Structure 1
Amino acid sequence: MSENSREIREVSVQRTESRKYTATSLESGASIEFGQGEGLLTPVELLLAAIAGCSSIDVDVATTRRSEPEKFDVLASGYKLSEDGASRMDDIHLGFDLKFPDTDEGRKAASMVERIVKLSHDKYCTVSRTVEFGAKVVSEVVE
């Protein structure tokens, strides 16, 4: 029997100046600036960061129960395509570069990484699963 749940997640985006915006979580109040211009992540870069961040959290939570990493870097990359004037991303890739201490606990943590990365991709990471499966997006003008 499958277990289904539905929990709303919301962010508010405000324009702070030309091509600069702040996204704020309505749940936690946390915010991030983004947009177009020097020193700002673009929306596409935020998408890549969200995918990498989601799986990074899964890997981090599982492995640090055993050992703190000496190195924990994740590179998210993909190709921006333009097809008939419409843009989208394709061939998104996450590269996990982790190093743990040469101790029993460090080796145990390192031995978990491949399995946890796969579980994150296949089951736990809401962001990458949403991108892969697709989600209906509705845009409307609110009066």
Structure 2
Amino acid sequence: MVKTYAVDLTRIGPTHYKATNAAGDSVEFGQGEGLLSPVELLLAAIAGCSSIDVDVVTGRRAESEAFSVHAEGDRVSEQGASRLSSVRLGFDVTFPDTPEGRQAQSMVGRLIAISHDKDCTVSRTVEHPTEVTFTDLNA
């Protein structure tokens, strides 16, 4: 089964953009003060994707007391071309000291691994070769 995702990007101003999905939800990003950069947005997408994987399952047992993820990556230049060479995520998730909370806490490590190995579309796309095609629609 193939599910297609799409966003439309519009320029708000110099190096300031808005991505909007079919439902009308949007996020602004770009270069400059008060904006996430495209690379930071990619890190947020990776962290967000795995966070949802962990949150959905643990949330069926207990509500977390704290849930944060730190995502970072190393930018390298190879023959003048930039990319991230390594992306690291650190999860800090805690639950109440109740039977349900302890059950949820005990699942976190396994759910992080499942997200990485199977469920997180964003990180799996970054880790596997993915064809990206650029087209000038006015050409």
Q: TM-score, normalised by structure 1?
A: 0.95
1:12 maps to what in 2? 8
Partner Cα distance (1:6, 1:105) in 2 = 36
Hey, what's the Cα distance between the residues in 1 that align with 2:122 and 2:129?
10
Q: Which runs of 4+ in 1 moved over 6 A?
A: none
SS in 2 for 1:40: coil
Identity across aligned pairs (percent)? 57
What is the CA–CA distance in structure 1 between the aligned matches of 2:129 and 2:85, rounded to whole Å? 13
Query: Residue 77 of structure 2 corresponds to which residue in structure 1?
Result: 82
User: How many pairs were matched up?
Assistant: 138
Unmatched segments (≥5 aa) in structure 2 = none
- Structure 1 segment 20-99 matched on structure 2, within 5 A: 20-26=16-22, 28-99=23-94
Structure 1 unaligned blocks of 5 or more: none
The normalised TM-score by structure 2 is: 0.97
Distance 1:36 1:10 in 2: 22
Partners of 1:134 and 1:16 in 2: how far apart? 31
Deviation of 1:132 (Å): 0.4
For residue 91 of structure 1, report the CA deviation from its aligned partner: 1.2
Q: Measure, in 1, the Cα distance between the counterparts of 2:64 and 2:85.
A: 30
Residue 110 of structure 2 corresponds to 115
- Work out the CA distance in 1 between the residues paired with 2:45 and 2:76: 19
Root-mean-square deviation (CA, aligned residues, Å) is: 0.6
Shift in Å at residue 124 of structure 1? 0.5
CA distance in 2, matches of 1:25, 1:90: 29
SS in 1 for 2:133: coil
Per-residue deviation, residues 5-45 of structure 1 (Å, max 9, x unmatched) = 1111100000010110000012x211000000000000000
